[in-house]
């Protein structure tokens, strides 16, 4: 994930702390390379054979190029508009992330003076990243190969598809005969990761890139839109789960695979909570004084991790007690959010105010097209097993 977080503190007079940025970047390079070697497979030859090392390097180089371009897009745009911005802080995450990283963050101190500047800074990162991600995906998909379709639940991971990816696959990837699927090459998988991260960043909520773009376009009205979009993520979780369950019931399978559907749909529930946590942290950065009954970061983390663990165990365990326990825990969490969380409060996802002057026509078009790109990148189920 990448995020350009705006702080309300005065601009810093200290020189850039580039050493920390460099150490984090080098750690991220190592983490992404290690993840690439492991995920691209060592096979019988082991992870230190030439092929897995080359494939891991291809994956790492691909996703790092996209992420660096994304972050430099933000950084350069901030400098052009004379906004005090830090160098990107890359976030290494070996083993826990399928890409070896959670992206990067850039801290922007002070207030962005105009909606024009906000748009340029918010949109420049995704646009710069896509300038590399799309060509790399095209090349990688054209060099991918076909494999037999595997049955759900065999341990393999099925990657989600967006409208844009389906179009690119249709135009550039090998045609898929009946019973065959496309196994992405390391470069295509790295580019898929870059497109996935771009989709997340373009969610028009809070201080994600999409939130910056939407606020630049809509102004303070975006705060209400952000609440609706955030709540729709929770609703979308239920739609996906019960949509699969209804299909199974109509096919005579009953609720036998409900645990699997819960596990495969957790992405949107997790991100509903992640954005709530980011909103709470941002409100503290603004000096807001949250209500005493507001859910804490620790409570949200504990509840979310607990639900993820239950759903993961329920994936391959057919006991009805696990889905029942999951829904009871989820009902409790939702009730707490209604009483003192994001389903009641209306300021945790508010965007910091900026200049009131609306965008000029050209930039308004850019803002609309950027949000259209989000729709083209949207994946209802990014990962299924």
- Cα 37 off chain centre by: 22
What is the pLDDT at residue 12?
A: 45
pLDDT band at 33 (very low <50, low <70, confident <90, very high): very high
What is the pLDDT at residue 155?
A: 60
pLDDT band at 8 (very low <50, low <70, confident <90, very high): very low
Alpha-carbon dihedral 371, 376, 381, 383, rounded to 10 degrees: -100
Q: In whole angstroms, what is the distance from residue 77 CA to residue 75 CA?
A: 6
Which stretches of 107-208 are DSSP H helices? 115-142, 163-172, 186-201
pLDDT band at 109 (very low <50, low <70, confident <90, very high): confident
What is the pLDDT at residue 318?
A: 81
For residue 104, what is the enclosing H or E element? strand 101-109
Eight-class DSSP state of 156: -
pLDDT, one tens digit per residue, over 134-184 is 999 999 999 998 888 776 655 677 888 999 999 999 999 998 888 788 889
Q: In whole angstroms, what is the distance from residue 5 CA to residue 102 CA?
A: 15
90 Rama class: left (phi>0) / alpha (psi -120 to 50) / beta: beta
* Contact between residue 188 and residue 140 where contact means Cβ atoms under 8 Å apart: yes
- 64: its two tokens: 């790092």
Report whether pLDDT(7) > 50: no
Asked whether the whole model's pTM tops 0.85, one would answer yes
Give the residue-averaged pLDDT of 69-88: 92
Q: In whole angstroms, what is the distance from residue 74 CA to residue 299 CA?
A: 33
Handedness of CA 161, 132, 134, 138 (dihedral sign): negative
pLDDT, one tens digit per residue, over 190-237 is 999 999 999 999 999 988 999 999 999 999 999 999 999 999 999 999
Report whether pLDDT(45) > 90: no
What does R_g of the chain's alpha carbons equal in angstroms?
21
* Contact between residue 348 and residue 231 where contact means Cβ atoms under 8 Å apart: no
Spatial neighbors of 186 by CB under 8 A, at least 6 apart, are 36, 40, 55, 56, 58, 59, 62, 140
């Amino acid at each position: 994930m990448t995020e350009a977080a705006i702080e309300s503190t005065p601009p810093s007079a200290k020189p850039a702390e580039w050493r920390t940025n460099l150490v984090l970047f080098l750690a991220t390079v190592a983490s992404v390379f290690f993840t690439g070697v492991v995920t691209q497979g060592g096979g019988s030859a082991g992870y230190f054979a030439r092929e897995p090392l080359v494939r891991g390097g291809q994956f790492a180089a691909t996703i790092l190029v996209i992420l660096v371009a994304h972050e430099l897009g933000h950084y350069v745009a901030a400098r052009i508009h004379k906004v005090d911005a830090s160098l990107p802080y890359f976030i290494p995450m070996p083993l826990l992330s399928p890409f070896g990283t959670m992206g990067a963050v850039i801290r922007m101190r002070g207030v962005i003076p105009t909606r024009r500047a906000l748009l340029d800074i918010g949109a420049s990162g995704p646009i710069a990243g896509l300038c590399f991600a799309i060509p790399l995906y095209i090349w990688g998909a054209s060099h991918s190969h076909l494999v037999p379709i595997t049955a759900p639940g065999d341990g393999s991971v099925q990657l989600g598809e967006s409208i844009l990816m389906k179009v690119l696959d249709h135009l550039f990837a090998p045609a898929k005969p009946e019973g065959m699927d496309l196994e992405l090459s390391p470069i295509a998988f790295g580019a898929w990761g870059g497109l996935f991260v771009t989709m997340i960043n373009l969610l028009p909520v809070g201080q994600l890139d999409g939130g910056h773009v939407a606020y630049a376009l809509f102004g303070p009205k975006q705060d209400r839109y952000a609440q609706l979009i955030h709540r729709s993520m929770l609703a979308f979780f239920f739609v996906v789960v019960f949509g699969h369950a209804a299909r199974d019931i109509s096919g005579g399978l009953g609720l036998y695979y409900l645990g699997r559907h819960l596990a495969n749909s957790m992405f949107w529930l997790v991100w509903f909570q992640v954005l709530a946590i980011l909103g709470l942290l941002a409100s503290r950065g603004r000096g807001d004084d949250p209500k005493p009954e507001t859910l804490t970061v620790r409570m949200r983390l504990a509840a979310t991790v607990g639900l993820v663990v239950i759903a993961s165990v329920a994936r391959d365990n057919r006991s009805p007690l696990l889905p029942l326990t999951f829904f009871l825990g989820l009902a409790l969490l939702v009730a707490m959010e209604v009483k003192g969380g994001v389903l009641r409060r209306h300021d945790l996802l508010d965007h910091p105010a900026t200049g009131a002057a609306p965008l000029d026509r050209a930039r308004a078009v850019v803002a609309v097209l950027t949000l259209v790109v989000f729709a083209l990148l949207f994946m209802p189920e990014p990962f299924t097993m």
